[in-house]
């Protein structure tokens, strides 16, 4: 697995490719982040957070695997910008995003997995409570 600095730079380069000719301000507005956050990701100073990742994948129709891991399972047509009004067509879109996120977690090193957990808990605080509840139910089922 690549080191964290190298991974951040590579992710930043792919984000820059998706942005194309748009300004950072335009692209940041499209994916719902600040220009400063976008600049930090593009420069490799930081990893994109979960909201950033979901929005870039959804609004720009790029694969999370490609953005995060460089796996080329997208084509140029899928990288076209789309309207902010576009929504998920069906639950399959969400399932694909979640599957890609799970694949990334399984293939990541320990540091990246920890980062992913922190980012997910920040983006979805209710996940921590849900995870605790599931752990309690699993422990109770095993004890029964």
Residue 86's CATH number: 1.10.260.40
Buried b (16+ CB within 10 A) or exposed e, 25-51: eebbebbebeeebbebbbebebbbbbb
Q: State the pTM of this model.
A: 0.53
Number of independent structural domains in the chain: 1
pLDDT tens readout for residues 19-58 = 999 999 999 999 999 999 999 999 999 999 888 988 888 8
Angle between helices 110-123 and 126-143 (to 10 degrees): 110
pLDDT single digits (tens) 57-93 = 888 888 888 888 887 654 444 444 444 444 545 566 6
- Give the range of the structural domain holding residue 14, as residue numbers without chain letter: 4-143
Whether the CB-CB separation of 123 and 49 falls below 8 Å is answered with yes
């Amino acid at each position: 697995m690549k080191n964290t600095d190298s991974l951040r730079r590579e992710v930043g380069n792919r984000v820059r490719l998706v942005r194309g000719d748009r300004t950072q301000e335009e692209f940041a507005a499209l994916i719902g982040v600040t220009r400063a956050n976008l600049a930090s990701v593009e420069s490799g100073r930081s990893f994109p957070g979960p909201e950033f990742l979901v929005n870039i994948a959804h609004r720009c129709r790029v694969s999370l695997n490609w953005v995060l891991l460089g796996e080329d399972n997208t084509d140029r047509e899928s990288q076209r910008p789309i309207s902010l009004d576009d929504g998920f067509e069906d639950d399959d879109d969400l399932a694909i995003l979640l599957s890609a996120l799970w694949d990334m977690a399984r293939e990541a090193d320990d540091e990246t997995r920890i980062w992913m957990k922190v980012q997910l808990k920040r983006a979805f605080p209710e996940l921590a409570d849900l995870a605790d509840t599931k752990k309690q139910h699993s422990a109770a089922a095993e004890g029964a």
